[in-house]
C-alpha cells in the first residue's frame, strides 16, 4: 500500500459515512419486514437477507481500508455502490414476493463494483488475494440473482446457500490483506451507532399520530435509555478493541477482522433489527400488554446484541462477558412482563437490566484496578 493510501486509511472519510447512511436504510427496511410479518417466516427472511447483504457491505469496509477515497474515479464508483445498496434496500420489503430479481441485479452490480475497485486500487498483494475471493463473491451474486429470478422454494434454498460465503475466509488465504486498525474499528463503530440510531427513529414512527401525553413521553425516554445502554455496552472500551486488533500478529489480523467485525457484528445488527421492530410496536400502545411476538422481539433483540458483543470481545481476547451474558439471559425472562402487564414495563426492565450490568461491570473493574 502506498504511503498516501495508508495515511488516508487511518481516518474514516465523509464519503464513507455517507455510504454507511445509505447502507443503514437496509436496516430500516429489514425492520419493516419484521414488523409486517410477525412470524418465523419473516425472521428467516430477515436473517437470510441480512447475512449476504452485510457480507458485501463489510467487503466495502475492507475496500476503503485498502484504497484512498479522495481519487475522483473511486468516489464515483463508491457512489455507484451506494446506488446499488439503495436499490437493494428498496427491494427488501417485497424481495420474497415480486422484487427478488431487482435485489439480485443490484447485488450483482455492488459485487462487480467492489471487485473492480479492489483489483485496481489496492496493493498488488491485496489485489491478488482479492482475485481469489472475487470468484466466491461472484458465485454468491449468481445465487442471489438466480434465486431472486426463480422465486418460491428455489429462492429460499439459493439465498440460504448464499450465506455460506461466510466460510470463504477459512478456505482461502487472507494474510495478504493489511488492516489499518484505527480506520477499521472506527468504520464498524459508525455502522453500529447509526444502526442504533434507527432504533430511536422507529420510536418516532411508532408515535406518529398519537397525543404527546405523559405515557408517550415516558415510553419514548425509556426506549432511548434502552438504546443508550446498548451503545454503552459496545463503546465502553473502544480503545481496548483497537489495541487488541493492533497488537495481534499481522497475518492473524484479517481473520480476527472477519470473525469479530464480520460474523459477530452480523449478530449485533440482527439484534438491533429485532429491537427496533419491538420498540415500534411498544411505542404505539405503551400501556397495553404486548403480543407475544413483539415481546419476544424486544427481549431477544437485547439478548442477541449483548451476547454478540461478548463474542466480539472474546474473539479479540478482551476479558469481558460474564455480566453481559447474565444480562442477555435476564432479558429473555422479561417476555412475560410484556405480555402479561404493559409494554412500558418490559422496555423499562430491559433498560434497567443492561444498566445494572454496565454499573456492576464498572465497579468490578474499579476494584481490580485498586487491587493491582
DSSP string, 156-172: HHHHHHHGGGGGGGGTS
pLDDT of residue 369: 52
284 is written with which cell numbers?
404505539
- Please say whether the beta carbons of 302 and 350 come within 8 A: yes
| Helix%, strand%, coil% for the chain, nearest 5 | 85, 0, 15
Looking at residue 121, its pLDDT comes to 81
Distance in angstroms (rounded) separating the CA atoms of residues 12 and 16: 6
Domain ranges of the chain: 3-170, 200-371
- Please answer whether residues 179 and 186 qualify as being in contact, where contact means their C-beta atoms are separated by less than 8 angstroms: no
- Answer yes or no: are the C-beta atoms of 118 and 130 closer than 8 Å: yes
Cβ contact 269:312 at 8 Å: no
Burial class (CB in 10 A: 0-12, 13-18, 19+), 156: middle
Question: First and final CA of the chain: distance in angstroms?
Answer: 42
CB 72: neighbour CB atoms within 10 A? 7
Residue 7 pLDDT = 38
Q: Which is nearest to 264 in space by CA: 225, 234, 231, 297?
A: 234
Q: Which residue matches cell numbers 485496481?
A: 120
Backbone angles phi, psi at 68, to 5 degrees: -95, 140
Annotate 55-104 with DSSP letters as a single string. HHHHHHHHHHHHS-S-SHHHHHHHHHHHHHHHHHHHHGGGTTTT-HHHHH
pLDDT by residue for the chain (372 residues), tens only, comes to 333 333 344 678 889 999 999 988 999 999 999 999 888 999 999 999 999 999 999 999 998 888 888 889 889 999 999 999 999 999 999 999 999 999 999 999 999 999 999 888 878 888 888 888 999 999 999 999 999 999 999 999 999 999 998 988 788 888 888 888 999 999 999 999 999 988 888 888 877 777 788 888 898 999 999 999 999 999 988 889 999 999 999 889 999 999 999 999 999 999 999 999 999 888 888 889 999 999 999 999 999 999 999 999 999 998 767 899 999 999 999 999 999 999 999 999 999 999 999 999 877 766 555 555
Q: What pLDDT is attached to residue 372?
A: 54
Rounded distance between C-alpha atoms, residue 256 and residue 266, angstroms: 14
161 is written with which cell numbers? 446457500
Q: What is the C-alpha R_g of the chain?
A: 21
- The pTM of the whole model exceeds 0.85: yes
Amino acid at each position: 500500500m502506498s504511503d498516501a493510501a495508508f495515511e488516508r486509511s487511518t481516518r474514516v472519510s465523509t464519503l464513507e459515512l455517507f455510504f454507511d447512511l445509505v447502507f443503514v436504510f437496509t436496516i430500516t427496511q429489514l425492520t419493516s419486514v419484521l414488523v409486517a410479518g410477525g412470524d418465523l417466516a419473516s425472521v428467516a427472511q430477515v436473517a437470510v437477507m441480512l447475512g449476504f447483504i452485510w457480507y458485501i457491505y463489510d467487503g466495502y469496509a475492507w475496500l476503503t481500508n485498502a484504497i484512498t477515497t479522495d481519487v475522483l474515479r473511486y468516489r464515483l464508483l463508491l457512489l455507484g455502490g451506494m446506488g446499488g445498496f439503495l436499490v437493494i434496500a428498496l427491494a427488501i420489503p417485497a424481495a420474497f414476493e415480486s422484487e427478488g430479481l431487482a435485489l439480485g441485479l443490484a447485488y450483482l452490480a455492488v459485487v462487480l463494483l467492489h471487485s473492480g475497485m479492489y483489483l485496481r486500487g489496492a496493493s498488488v498483494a491485496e489485489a491478488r488475494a482479492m482475485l481469489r475471493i472475487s470468484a466466491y463473491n461472484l458465485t454468491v451474486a449468481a445465487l442471489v440473482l438466480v434465486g431472486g429470478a426463480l422465486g418460491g422454494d428455489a429462492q429460499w434454498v439459493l439465498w440460504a446457500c448464499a450465506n455460506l460465503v461466510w466460510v470463504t475466509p477459512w478456505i482461502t488465504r487472507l494474510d495478504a490483506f493489511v488492516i489499518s486498525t484505527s480506520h477499521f474499528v472506527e468504520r464498524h463503530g459508525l455502522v453500529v451507532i447509526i444502526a442504533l440510531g434507527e432504533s430511536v427513529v422507529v420510536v418516532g414512527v411508532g408515535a406518529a399520530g398519537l397525543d404527546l401525553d405523559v405515557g408517550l413521553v415516558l415510553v419514548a425516554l425509556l426506549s432511548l435509555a434502552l438504546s443508550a445502554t446498548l451503545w454503552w455496552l459496545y463503546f465502553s472500551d473502544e480503545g481496548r478493541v483497537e489495541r487488541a486488533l493492533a497488537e495481534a500478529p499481522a497475518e492473524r489480523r484479517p481473520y480476527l477482522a472477519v470473525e469479530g467485525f464480520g460474523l459477530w457484528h452480523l449478530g449485533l445488527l440482527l439484534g438491533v433489527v429485532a429491537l427496533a421492530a419491538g420498540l415500534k410496536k411498544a411505542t404505539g400502545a405503551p400501556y397495553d400488554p404486548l403480543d407475544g411476538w413483539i415481546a419476544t422481539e424486544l427481549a431477544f433483540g437485547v439478548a442477541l446484541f449483548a451476547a454478540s458483543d461478548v463474542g466480539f470481545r472474546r474473539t479479540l481476547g478482551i476479558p469481558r462477558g460474564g455480566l453481559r451474558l447474565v444480562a442477555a439471559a435476564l432479558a429473555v425472562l422479561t417476555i412475560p412482563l410484556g405480555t402479561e402487564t404493559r409494554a412500558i414495563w418490559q422496555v423499562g426492565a430491559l433498560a434497567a437490566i443492561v444498566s445494572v450490568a454496565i454499573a456492576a461491570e464498572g465497579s468490578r473493574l474499579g476494584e481490580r484496578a485498586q487491587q493491582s
